[in-house]
Protein backbone atom coordinates (compact mmCIF):
# COMPACT_ATOMS: atom_id res chain seq x y z
CA UNK A 1 0.00 0.00 0.00
CA UNK A 2 2.85 2.37 0.79
CA UNK A 3 4.53 1.58 -2.53
CA UNK A 4 1.28 2.09 -4.45
CA UNK A 5 0.70 5.41 -2.70
CA UNK A 6 4.27 6.52 -3.48
CA UNK A 7 3.94 5.60 -7.18
CA UNK A 8 0.58 7.35 -7.43
CA UNK A 9 2.02 10.47 -5.78
CA UNK A 10 5.03 10.39 -8.10
CA UNK A 11 2.73 10.05 -11.13
CA UNK A 12 0.69 13.05 -10.00
CA UNK A 13 3.85 15.06 -9.46
CA UNK A 14 5.18 14.15 -12.94
CA UNK A 15 1.87 15.19 -14.51
CA UNK A 16 2.10 18.57 -12.78
CA UNK A 17 5.69 19.00 -13.90
CA UNK A 18 4.89 18.18 -17.54
CA UNK A 19 1.84 20.45 -17.50
CA UNK A 20 3.93 23.36 -16.23
CA UNK A 21 6.67 22.51 -18.74
CA UNK A 22 4.12 22.52 -21.58
CA UNK A 23 2.76 25.88 -20.44
CA UNK A 24 6.24 27.40 -20.29
CA UNK A 25 6.99 26.23 -23.86
CA UNK A 26 3.62 27.52 -25.08
CA UNK A 27 4.22 30.93 -23.52
CA UNK A 28 7.68 31.07 -25.08
CA UNK A 29 6.30 30.33 -28.55
CA UNK A 30 3.43 32.79 -28.05
CA UNK A 31 5.91 35.57 -27.34
CA UNK A 32 7.85 34.97 -30.61
CA UNK A 33 7.39 38.16 -32.69
CA UNK A 34 7.98 36.34 -36.00
CA UNK A 35 5.19 33.87 -35.27
CA UNK A 36 2.89 36.73 -34.22
CA UNK A 37 3.57 38.57 -37.52
CA UNK A 38 3.10 35.43 -39.60
CA UNK A 39 -0.16 34.65 -37.81
CA UNK A 40 -1.51 38.16 -38.50
CA UNK A 41 -0.64 37.88 -42.20
CA UNK A 42 -2.16 34.40 -42.52
CA UNK A 43 1.35 32.84 -42.86
CA UNK A 44 1.54 32.91 -46.68
CA UNK A 45 5.17 31.72 -46.62
CA UNK A 46 4.50 28.78 -44.24
CA UNK A 47 6.83 30.09 -41.47
CA UNK A 48 4.83 28.84 -38.48
CA UNK A 49 5.01 25.07 -39.16
CA UNK A 50 8.85 24.87 -39.43
CA UNK A 51 9.29 27.11 -36.40
CA UNK A 52 6.88 25.01 -34.32
CA UNK A 53 8.63 21.77 -35.35
CA UNK A 54 11.98 23.14 -34.36
CA UNK A 55 10.64 23.98 -30.92
CA UNK A 56 8.99 20.55 -30.61
CA UNK A 57 12.17 18.70 -31.49
CA UNK A 58 14.38 20.82 -29.28
CA UNK A 59 12.10 20.49 -26.20
CA UNK A 60 11.04 16.89 -26.69
CA UNK A 61 7.36 17.84 -26.76
CA UNK A 62 4.90 15.58 -28.55
CA UNK A 63 3.35 18.47 -30.40
CA UNK A 64 3.42 22.27 -30.69
CA UNK A 65 0.21 23.58 -32.26
CA UNK A 66 -0.35 27.21 -33.22
CA UNK A 67 -3.90 28.37 -34.06
CA UNK A 68 -5.52 31.64 -35.05
CA UNK A 69 -8.36 33.28 -33.20
CA UNK A 70 -10.87 30.89 -34.77
CA UNK A 71 -8.93 27.81 -33.53
CA UNK A 72 -7.65 26.86 -37.03
CA UNK A 73 -4.32 25.01 -36.83
CA UNK A 74 -1.23 26.56 -38.48
CA UNK A 75 1.12 23.85 -37.22
CA UNK A 76 0.88 20.18 -36.27
CA UNK A 77 3.19 17.12 -36.22
CA UNK A 78 0.82 15.62 -38.74
CA UNK A 79 0.77 18.10 -41.68
CA UNK A 80 -2.62 16.75 -42.74
CA UNK A 81 -4.18 18.35 -39.64
CA UNK A 82 -2.99 21.87 -40.63
CA UNK A 83 -5.94 24.08 -41.60
CA UNK A 84 -8.40 22.15 -39.49
CA UNK A 85 -9.92 23.41 -36.22
CA UNK A 86 -8.77 21.99 -32.88
CA UNK A 87 -10.91 19.33 -31.19
CA UNK A 88 -11.29 21.08 -27.85
CA UNK A 89 -13.14 24.27 -27.04
CA UNK A 90 -10.50 27.06 -27.21
CA UNK A 91 -12.76 29.84 -25.91
CA UNK A 92 -11.16 30.04 -22.44
CA UNK A 93 -7.63 30.46 -23.82
CA UNK A 94 -8.77 32.79 -26.62
CA UNK A 95 -10.35 34.91 -23.89
CA UNK A 96 -6.80 35.60 -22.62
CA UNK A 97 -6.37 32.81 -19.99
CA UNK A 98 -3.70 30.15 -19.69
CA UNK A 99 -4.71 26.51 -19.14
CA UNK A 100 -3.01 23.30 -17.97
CA UNK A 101 -4.39 19.78 -17.61
CA UNK A 102 -4.82 16.31 -19.08
CA UNK A 103 -6.81 16.01 -22.31
CA UNK A 104 -7.34 13.51 -25.10
CA UNK A 105 -6.56 14.75 -28.63
CA UNK A 106 -5.78 13.32 -32.07
CA UNK A 107 -2.44 11.95 -30.82
CA UNK A 108 -3.83 10.47 -27.58
CA UNK A 109 -3.92 11.43 -23.89
CA UNK A 110 -1.42 14.15 -23.11
CA UNK A 111 -0.38 16.62 -20.41
CA UNK A 112 -1.02 20.01 -21.96
CA UNK A 113 -0.31 23.66 -21.49
CA UNK A 114 -2.04 26.39 -23.48
CA UNK A 115 -1.19 30.10 -23.73
CA UNK A 116 -2.88 32.92 -25.69
CA UNK A 117 -0.93 34.93 -28.33
CA UNK A 118 -1.20 38.65 -27.68
CA UNK A 119 -0.48 41.44 -30.21
CA UNK A 120 -1.04 45.06 -29.22
CA UNK A 121 -3.14 43.88 -26.27
CA UNK A 122 -5.45 41.72 -28.34
CA UNK A 123 -5.59 37.91 -28.53
CA UNK A 124 -4.80 36.85 -32.10
CA UNK A 125 -4.45 33.10 -31.46
CA UNK A 126 -3.08 30.49 -29.08
CA UNK A 127 -0.28 27.94 -28.67
CA UNK A 128 -0.95 24.42 -27.35
CA UNK A 129 1.97 22.23 -26.28
CA UNK A 130 1.60 18.68 -25.03
CA UNK A 131 3.49 15.60 -23.85
CA UNK A 132 1.84 12.20 -24.30
CA UNK A 133 1.17 10.22 -21.14
CA UNK A 134 3.41 7.48 -22.50
CA UNK A 135 6.32 9.87 -22.14
CA UNK A 136 5.27 10.61 -18.57
CA UNK A 137 4.99 6.88 -17.86
CA UNK A 138 8.43 6.25 -19.30
CA UNK A 139 9.80 8.90 -17.00
CA UNK A 140 8.06 7.15 -14.09
CA UNK A 141 9.60 3.83 -15.07
CA UNK A 142 12.99 5.46 -15.10
CA UNK A 143 12.43 6.50 -11.46
CA UNK A 144 11.16 3.05 -10.34
CA UNK A 145 14.59 1.70 -9.25
CA UNK A 146 14.84 4.52 -6.74
CA UNK A 147 11.34 3.72 -5.46
CA UNK A 148 12.15 0.05 -5.17
CA UNK A 149 15.29 0.76 -3.15
CA UNK A 150 13.36 3.04 -0.80
CA UNK A 151 10.56 0.48 -0.56
CA UNK A 152 12.93 -2.36 0.31
CA UNK A 153 14.65 -0.23 2.94
CA UNK A 154 11.33 0.75 4.50
CA UNK A 155 10.13 -2.84 4.34
CA UNK A 156 13.28 -4.06 6.07
CA UNK A 157 12.95 -1.47 8.82
CA UNK A 158 9.27 -2.33 9.25
CA UNK A 159 9.95 -6.06 9.49
CA UNK A 160 12.77 -5.49 11.98
CA UNK A 161 10.62 -3.19 14.11
CA UNK A 162 7.73 -5.67 14.01
CA UNK A 163 9.98 -8.51 15.16
CA UNK A 164 11.33 -6.43 18.05
CA UNK A 165 7.83 -5.34 19.05
CA UNK A 166 6.51 -8.92 18.84
CA UNK A 167 9.41 -10.16 20.96
CA UNK A 168 8.76 -7.50 23.62
CA UNK A 169 5.04 -8.24 23.67
CA UNK A 170 5.76 -11.96 23.98
CA UNK A 171 7.91 -11.32 27.02
CA UNK A 172 5.28 -9.09 28.61
CA UNK A 173 2.48 -11.58 27.96
CA UNK A 174 4.52 -14.66 28.98
CA UNK A 175 4.44 -16.02 25.44
CA UNK A 176 0.63 -16.14 25.29
CA UNK A 177 -1.31 -15.53 22.11
CA UNK A 178 -4.13 -12.94 22.10
CA UNK A 179 -6.86 -15.60 22.18
CA UNK A 180 -5.14 -17.24 25.17
CA UNK A 181 -5.00 -13.89 27.00
CA UNK A 182 -8.72 -13.34 26.30
CA UNK A 183 -9.47 -16.82 27.66
CA UNK A 184 -7.47 -16.20 30.82
CA UNK A 185 -9.29 -12.89 31.35
CA UNK A 186 -12.66 -14.61 31.02
CA UNK A 187 -11.60 -17.35 33.44
CA UNK A 188 -10.30 -14.78 35.93
CA UNK A 189 -13.54 -12.81 35.86
CA UNK A 190 -15.59 -15.99 36.25
CA UNK A 191 -13.44 -17.13 39.18
CA UNK A 192 -13.50 -13.76 40.95
CA UNK A 193 -17.24 -13.40 40.65
CA UNK A 194 -17.87 -17.03 41.52
CA UNK A 195 -16.09 -17.17 44.88
CA UNK A 196 -18.07 -16.47 48.04
CA UNK A 197 -15.38 -14.24 49.58
CA UNK A 198 -14.88 -10.63 48.63
CA UNK A 199 -11.60 -9.81 46.90
CA UNK A 200 -10.15 -6.32 46.51
CA UNK A 201 -6.72 -5.50 45.07
CA UNK A 202 -4.76 -2.26 45.28
CA UNK A 203 -1.53 -1.04 43.73
CA UNK A 204 1.41 0.44 45.59
CA UNK A 205 -0.30 3.84 45.87
CA UNK A 206 -3.50 2.47 47.42
CA UNK A 207 -5.51 2.74 44.19
CA UNK A 208 -8.14 0.04 43.70
CA UNK A 209 -7.29 -2.12 40.67
CA UNK A 210 -9.79 -4.94 41.21
CA UNK A 211 -12.93 -5.57 43.25
CA UNK A 212 -15.32 -8.45 42.70
CA UNK A 213 -19.07 -8.21 43.23
CA UNK A 214 -18.91 -9.67 46.74
CA UNK A 215 -16.32 -7.08 47.83
CA UNK A 216 -18.44 -4.28 46.39
CA UNK A 217 -21.44 -5.60 48.35
CA UNK A 218 -19.63 -6.11 51.66
CA UNK A 219 -17.88 -2.72 51.56
CA UNK A 220 -20.73 -0.83 49.84
CA UNK A 221 -18.31 0.39 47.17
CA UNK A 222 -19.57 2.73 44.42
CA UNK A 223 -19.79 1.40 40.83
CA UNK A 224 -16.83 3.55 39.73
CA UNK A 225 -14.49 2.43 42.51
CA UNK A 226 -11.91 0.93 40.13
CA UNK A 227 -9.13 3.45 39.59
CA UNK A 228 -9.97 5.44 42.74
CA UNK A 229 -7.96 5.52 45.98
CA UNK A 230 -9.16 3.65 49.06
CA UNK A 231 -9.49 6.90 51.02
CA UNK A 232 -11.91 8.21 48.37
CA UNK A 233 -14.43 5.35 48.67
CA UNK A 234 -14.08 4.24 52.33
CA UNK A 235 -14.68 6.26 55.51
CA UNK A 236 -11.85 6.69 58.03
CA UNK A 237 -11.60 3.83 60.49
CA UNK A 238 -10.10 0.40 61.11
CA UNK A 239 -11.32 -0.95 57.76
CA UNK A 240 -9.40 1.73 55.85
CA UNK A 241 -6.37 1.26 58.10
CA UNK A 242 -6.41 -2.48 57.47
CA UNK A 243 -6.61 -2.17 53.68
CA UNK A 244 -3.84 0.46 53.82
CA UNK A 245 -1.56 -1.88 55.80
CA UNK A 246 -2.00 -0.26 59.20
CA UNK A 247 -3.11 -3.45 61.02
CA UNK A 248 -2.02 -7.05 61.13
CA UNK A 249 -2.64 -8.88 57.85
CA UNK A 250 -3.94 -12.22 59.16
CA UNK A 251 -7.61 -12.86 60.12
CA UNK A 252 -8.39 -9.33 61.30
CA UNK A 253 -11.97 -8.82 62.55
CA UNK A 254 -13.53 -5.66 61.10
CA UNK A 255 -16.88 -3.90 61.11
CA UNK A 256 -18.30 -2.68 57.79
CA UNK A 257 -21.69 -1.12 58.37
CA UNK A 258 -23.82 -3.82 60.03
CA UNK A 259 -21.47 -6.59 58.92
CA UNK A 260 -18.68 -8.28 60.82
CA UNK A 261 -15.88 -9.24 58.43
CA UNK A 262 -12.86 -11.47 58.83
CA UNK A 263 -10.17 -10.15 56.49
CA UNK A 264 -6.69 -11.18 55.38
CA UNK A 265 -4.22 -9.22 53.29
CA UNK A 266 -1.33 -10.42 51.15
CA UNK A 267 1.32 -8.71 49.05
CA UNK A 268 1.29 -9.16 45.25
CA UNK A 269 4.74 -9.85 43.84
CA UNK A 270 5.61 -9.99 40.15
CA UNK A 271 9.13 -10.98 39.12
CA UNK A 272 10.32 -10.46 42.69
CA UNK A 273 8.91 -6.93 42.98
CA UNK A 274 5.98 -5.95 45.19
CA UNK A 275 3.39 -4.18 43.05
CA UNK A 276 0.42 -4.05 45.42
CA UNK A 277 -1.79 -6.00 47.81
CA UNK A 278 -4.91 -8.17 47.65
CA UNK A 279 -7.34 -8.57 50.54
CA UNK A 280 -9.96 -11.27 50.99
CA UNK A 281 -13.07 -10.52 53.02
CA UNK A 282 -15.36 -13.10 54.62
CA UNK A 283 -18.76 -12.18 55.97
CA UNK A 284 -18.44 -13.88 59.36
CA UNK A 285 -22.05 -13.20 60.30
CA UNK A 286 -24.73 -10.57 59.97
CA UNK A 287 -25.37 -8.40 63.02
CA UNK A 288 -28.43 -10.42 64.02
CA UNK A 289 -26.44 -13.64 63.75
CA UNK A 290 -23.72 -12.17 65.91
CA UNK A 291 -26.33 -11.14 68.43
CA UNK A 292 -27.61 -14.73 68.54
CA UNK A 293 -24.05 -15.86 69.10
CA UNK A 294 -23.68 -13.43 71.97
CA UNK A 295 -26.92 -14.71 73.45
CA UNK A 296 -25.80 -18.33 73.23
CA UNK A 297 -22.47 -17.38 74.80
CA UNK A 298 -24.25 -15.60 77.64
CA UNK A 299 -26.49 -18.60 78.29
CA UNK A 300 -23.48 -20.91 78.13
CA UNK A 301 -21.64 -18.80 80.69
CA UNK A 302 -24.72 -18.76 82.88
CA UNK A 303 -25.14 -22.52 82.77
CA UNK A 304 -21.46 -22.98 83.51
CA UNK A 305 -21.65 -20.57 86.43
CA UNK A 306 -24.77 -22.25 87.80
CA UNK A 307 -23.24 -25.70 87.42
CA UNK A 308 -20.09 -24.54 89.20
CA UNK A 309 -22.07 -22.85 92.01
CA UNK A 310 -24.38 -25.82 92.59
CA UNK A 311 -21.46 -28.25 92.43
CA UNK A 312 -19.82 -26.32 95.28
CA UNK A 313 -23.05 -26.33 97.30
CA UNK A 314 -23.61 -30.04 96.68
CA UNK A 315 -20.10 -30.78 97.88
CA UNK A 316 -20.78 -28.70 101.01
CA UNK A 317 -24.10 -30.47 101.66
CA UNK A 318 -22.47 -33.88 101.15
CA UNK A 319 -19.75 -32.94 103.64
CA UNK A 320 -22.30 -31.84 106.24
CA UNK A 321 -24.22 -35.13 105.84
CA UNK A 322 -21.03 -37.15 106.23
CA UNK A 323 -20.20 -35.18 109.37
CA UNK A 324 -23.61 -36.01 110.81
CA UNK A 325 -24.89 -32.45 110.67
CA UNK A 326 -28.11 -33.16 108.83
CA UNK A 327 -29.97 -30.17 110.23
CA UNK A 328 -27.40 -27.76 108.88
CA UNK A 329 -27.47 -29.54 105.51
CA UNK A 330 -31.25 -29.20 105.30
CA UNK A 331 -30.98 -25.54 106.30
CA UNK A 332 -28.42 -24.87 103.56
CA UNK A 333 -30.61 -26.59 100.97
CA UNK A 334 -33.62 -24.49 101.97
CA UNK A 335 -31.56 -21.32 101.99
CA UNK A 336 -30.12 -21.99 98.49
CA UNK A 337 -33.50 -22.86 97.02
CA UNK A 338 -35.11 -19.86 98.64
CA UNK A 339 -32.54 -17.37 97.35
CA UNK A 340 -32.85 -18.55 93.76
CA UNK A 341 -36.61 -18.85 93.94
CA UNK A 342 -36.86 -15.34 95.42
CA UNK A 343 -34.69 -13.84 92.65
CA UNK A 344 -36.62 -15.70 89.93
CA UNK A 345 -40.04 -14.65 91.25
CA UNK A 346 -38.92 -11.05 91.72
CA UNK A 347 -37.72 -10.79 88.15
CA UNK A 348 -40.70 -12.54 86.58
CA UNK A 349 -43.09 -10.40 88.60
CA UNK A 350 -41.61 -7.09 87.35
CA UNK A 351 -40.21 -8.07 83.96
CA UNK A 352 -42.81 -9.21 81.49
CA UNK A 353 -40.34 -9.83 78.68
CA UNK A 354 -39.15 -13.46 79.00
CA UNK A 355 -35.95 -12.78 77.05
CA UNK A 356 -35.05 -9.90 79.36
CA UNK A 357 -35.86 -11.95 82.44
CA UNK A 358 -33.83 -14.95 81.27
CA UNK A 359 -30.88 -12.72 80.38
CA UNK A 360 -30.90 -11.03 83.79
CA UNK A 361 -31.09 -14.41 85.56
CA UNK A 362 -28.16 -15.67 83.49
CA UNK A 363 -26.10 -12.59 84.27
CA UNK A 364 -27.03 -12.88 87.96
CA UNK A 365 -25.57 -16.41 88.01
CA UNK A 366 -22.36 -15.20 86.35
CA UNK A 367 -22.13 -12.26 88.78
CA UNK A 368 -22.68 -14.52 91.78
CA UNK A 369 -19.85 -16.81 90.66
CA UNK A 370 -17.50 -13.82 90.32
CA UNK A 371 -18.47 -12.45 93.72
CA UNK A 372 -20.36 -9.47 92.32
CA UNK A 373 -23.80 -8.32 93.45
CA UNK A 374 -26.10 -7.87 90.41
CA UNK A 375 -28.80 -5.39 91.41
CA UNK A 376 -31.91 -5.08 89.28
CA UNK A 377 -33.34 -1.67 90.12
CA UNK A 378 -36.90 -1.32 91.35
CA UNK A 379 -37.88 0.75 88.32
CA UNK A 380 -37.22 -2.21 85.99
CA UNK A 381 -40.90 -2.80 85.30
CA UNK A 382 -41.25 -3.72 81.67
CA UNK A 383 -43.79 -5.60 79.59
CA UNK A 384 -42.76 -7.45 76.43
CA UNK A 385 -40.05 -5.37 74.77
CA UNK A 386 -40.59 -3.72 71.39
CA UNK A 387 -36.97 -4.61 70.58
CA UNK A 388 -36.08 -7.83 68.82
CA UNK A 389 -34.70 -10.45 71.19
CA UNK A 390 -31.36 -10.46 69.39
CA UNK A 391 -31.01 -6.68 69.64
CA UNK A 392 -31.97 -6.73 73.33
CA UNK A 393 -29.38 -9.42 74.05
CA UNK A 394 -26.73 -7.44 72.17
CA UNK A 395 -27.49 -4.20 74.01
CA UNK A 396 -27.95 -5.44 77.57
CA UNK A 397 -25.61 -8.43 77.36
CA UNK A 398 -22.61 -6.40 76.24
CA UNK A 399 -23.24 -3.59 78.72
CA UNK A 400 -23.61 -6.01 81.66
CA UNK A 401 -20.53 -8.00 80.62
CA UNK A 402 -18.45 -4.83 80.51
CA UNK A 403 -19.88 -3.71 83.85
CA UNK A 404 -19.04 -7.09 85.47
CA UNK A 405 -15.45 -6.83 84.19
CA UNK A 406 -15.18 -3.29 85.58
CA UNK A 407 -16.73 -4.21 88.97
CA UNK A 408 -14.42 -7.21 89.28
CA UNK A 409 -11.45 -4.82 89.32
CA UNK A 410 -12.90 -2.76 92.16
CA UNK A 411 -10.96 -2.90 95.46
CA UNK A 412 -14.06 -2.16 97.56
CA UNK A 413 -17.66 -3.20 97.25
CA UNK A 414 -18.36 -4.90 93.93
CA UNK A 415 -21.77 -4.46 92.38
CA UNK A 416 -23.58 -3.82 89.07
CA UNK A 417 -26.94 -2.06 88.85
CA UNK A 418 -29.26 -2.67 85.87
CA UNK A 419 -32.37 -0.69 84.92
CA UNK A 420 -34.59 -1.29 81.84
CA UNK A 421 -37.70 0.90 81.59
CA UNK A 422 -40.18 2.48 79.19
CA UNK A 423 -39.88 6.22 79.87
CA UNK A 424 -41.49 9.09 77.94
CA UNK A 425 -41.89 7.03 74.80
CA UNK A 426 -38.32 5.72 74.94
CA UNK A 427 -36.80 2.44 75.99
CA UNK A 428 -34.07 3.39 78.48
CA UNK A 429 -31.38 0.87 79.42
CA UNK A 430 -29.04 1.99 82.19
CA UNK A 431 -26.11 -0.05 83.52
CA UNK A 432 -24.04 1.28 86.46
CA UNK A 433 -21.03 -0.45 88.00
CA UNK A 434 -18.73 0.08 90.98
CA UNK A 435 -15.59 -0.06 88.87
CA UNK A 436 -13.01 2.67 88.33
CA UNK A 437 -15.02 4.34 85.57
CA UNK A 438 -14.02 5.38 82.09
CA UNK A 439 -10.46 6.77 81.90
CA UNK A 440 -10.26 10.50 81.26
CA UNK A 441 -9.84 11.36 77.59
CA UNK A 442 -11.13 8.09 76.12
CA UNK A 443 -14.88 8.43 76.66
CA UNK A 444 -15.33 9.34 73.01
CA UNK A 445 -13.25 6.40 71.79
CA UNK A 446 -14.71 3.47 73.72
CA UNK A 447 -17.52 3.08 71.17
CA UNK A 448 -15.07 2.84 68.29
CA UNK A 449 -14.48 -0.52 66.68
CA UNK A 450 -11.35 -2.23 68.01
CA UNK A 451 -10.78 0.17 70.92
CA UNK A 452 -10.54 -1.44 74.36
CA UNK A 453 -9.20 -0.47 77.79
CA UNK A 454 -8.85 -4.15 78.71
CA UNK A 455 -5.64 -6.10 78.40
CA UNK A 456 -5.10 -9.79 77.79
CA UNK A 457 -4.66 -12.22 74.94
CA UNK A 458 -7.68 -14.45 75.27
CA UNK A 459 -9.57 -16.04 72.48
CA UNK A 460 -12.09 -13.21 72.38
CA UNK A 461 -11.59 -10.20 70.16
CA UNK A 462 -11.59 -6.99 72.17
CA UNK A 463 -13.17 -3.66 71.26
CA UNK A 464 -16.36 -4.86 69.51
CA UNK A 465 -19.01 -5.10 72.26
CA UNK A 466 -19.60 -1.37 72.75
CA UNK A 467 -19.25 -0.74 69.01
CA UNK A 468 -22.08 -3.23 68.43
CA UNK A 469 -24.16 -1.57 71.16
CA UNK A 470 -23.84 1.80 69.43
CA UNK A 471 -24.63 0.29 66.02
CA UNK A 472 -27.81 -1.39 67.27
CA UNK A 473 -28.93 1.76 69.11
CA UNK A 474 -28.35 4.03 66.12
CA UNK A 475 -29.96 1.56 63.74
CA UNK A 476 -33.16 1.98 65.80
CA UNK A 477 -32.88 5.77 65.89
CA UNK A 478 -31.33 6.01 69.35
CA UNK A 479 -27.86 6.36 70.84
CA UNK A 480 -25.68 5.45 73.82
CA UNK A 481 -23.61 7.63 76.15
CA UNK A 482 -21.45 7.16 79.22
CA UNK A 483 -20.64 9.26 82.31
CA UNK A 484 -18.63 8.63 85.46
CA UNK A 485 -20.61 8.60 88.72
CA UNK A 486 -18.83 6.42 91.27
CA UNK A 487 -18.14 4.13 88.34
CA UNK A 488 -19.25 4.09 84.71
CA UNK A 489 -22.92 4.71 83.89
CA UNK A 490 -23.94 3.61 80.39
CA UNK A 491 -27.33 4.83 79.13
CA UNK A 492 -29.07 3.66 75.94
CA UNK A 493 -32.17 5.51 74.69
CA UNK A 494 -34.24 4.14 71.80
CA UNK A 495 -37.50 5.73 70.58
CA UNK A 496 -40.34 3.21 70.76
CA UNK A 497 -42.17 4.73 67.78
CA UNK A 498 -39.10 4.25 65.56
CA UNK A 499 -38.89 0.59 66.56
CA UNK A 500 -42.55 0.03 65.87
CA UNK A 501 -42.26 1.45 62.35
CA UNK A 502 -42.20 -1.44 59.81
158-186 confidence digits (pLDDT tens)? 899 999 998 888 888 877 788 888 888 77
Domains of the chain, by residue range, sit at: 2-139, 190-286, 289-500
302 pLDDT more than 80: no
Question: 465-475 and 389-408 are packed helices; what angle lies between their axes, rounded to 10 degrees?
Answer: 140
**pLDDT tens digit string along 47-69?**
999 999 999 999 888 889 999 98
Considering the domain 2-139 in this protein, what is its CATH number? 3.30.450.20
Average pLDDT for 14-42: 89
102, 129, 130, 290, 476 from 75: Cα distances, Å: 21, 11, 13, 112, 111
Please check whether residue 435 is in contact with residue 453, taking contact to mean a CB–CB distance below 8 angstroms.
Answer: no
Element (H, E) at 53: helix 48-59
Please check whether residue 432 is in contact with residue 488, taking contact to mean a CB–CB distance below 8 angstroms.
Answer: yes
Cβ neighbours of residue 476 under 8 Å, at least 6 residues apart?
A: 387, 391, 494, 495, 498, 499
Average pLDDT for 148-163: 86
Cβ neighbours of residue 103 under 8 Å, at least 6 residues apart?
A: 88, 109, 110, 112, 130
Which range has the worst mean pLDDT, 29-33, 93-97, 358-362?
Answer: 358-362
438 pLDDT more than 90: no
Which range has the worst mean pLDDT, 285-289, 347-351, 399-403, 481-485?
Answer: 285-289
376 CB-contact burial (10 Å; exposed 0-12 / middle 13-18 / buried 19+): buried
Which range has the worst mean pLDDT, 240-254, 333-347, 372-386, 432-446?
Answer: 333-347
What is the average pLDDT score of the chain? 80
502 pLDDT more than 80: no
Cα torsion 248, 251, 257, 258 to 10°: value is -150
- Give the Cα separation of 436 and 406 in Å (integer): 7
pLDDT score at 312: 64
Q: How confident is the model at residue 457 (pLDDT cuts 50, 70, 90)?
A: very low
pLDDT score at 339: 45
Give me the architecture of the 190-286 domain, per CATH.
Answer: 2-Layer Sandwich (3.30)
Considering the domain 289-500 in this protein, what is its CATH number? 3.30.565.10
pTM over 0.75: no
**pLDDT tens digit string along 206-215?**
899 888 888 8
The reply to whether 2-139 and 190-286 are identical in fold is: yes
pLDDT score at 498: 53
Q: How confident is the model at residue 465 (pLDDT cuts 50, 70, 90)?
A: confident
Please check whether residue 194 is in contact with residue 212, taking contact to mean a CB–CB distance below 8 angstroms.
Answer: no
Which range has the worst mean pLDDT, 29-33, 34-38, 185-189, 396-400?
Answer: 185-189
Amino acid sequence: MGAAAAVWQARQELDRQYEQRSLAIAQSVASDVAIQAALLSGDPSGLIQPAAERVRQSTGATYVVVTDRQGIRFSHPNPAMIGKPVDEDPSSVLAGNTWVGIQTGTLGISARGKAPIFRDGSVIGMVSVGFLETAVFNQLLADVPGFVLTLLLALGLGVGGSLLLASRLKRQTFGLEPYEIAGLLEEREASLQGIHEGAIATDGDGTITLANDEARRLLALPPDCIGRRLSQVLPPGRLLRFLSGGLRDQDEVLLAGDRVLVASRRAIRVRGREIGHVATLRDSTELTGLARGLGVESLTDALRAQAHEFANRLHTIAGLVQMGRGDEAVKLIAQTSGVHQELTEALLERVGDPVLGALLLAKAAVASERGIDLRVSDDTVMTRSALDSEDLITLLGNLVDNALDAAASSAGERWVSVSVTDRDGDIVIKVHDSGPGVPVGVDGQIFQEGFSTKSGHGRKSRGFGLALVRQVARRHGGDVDVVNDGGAVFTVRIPVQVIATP
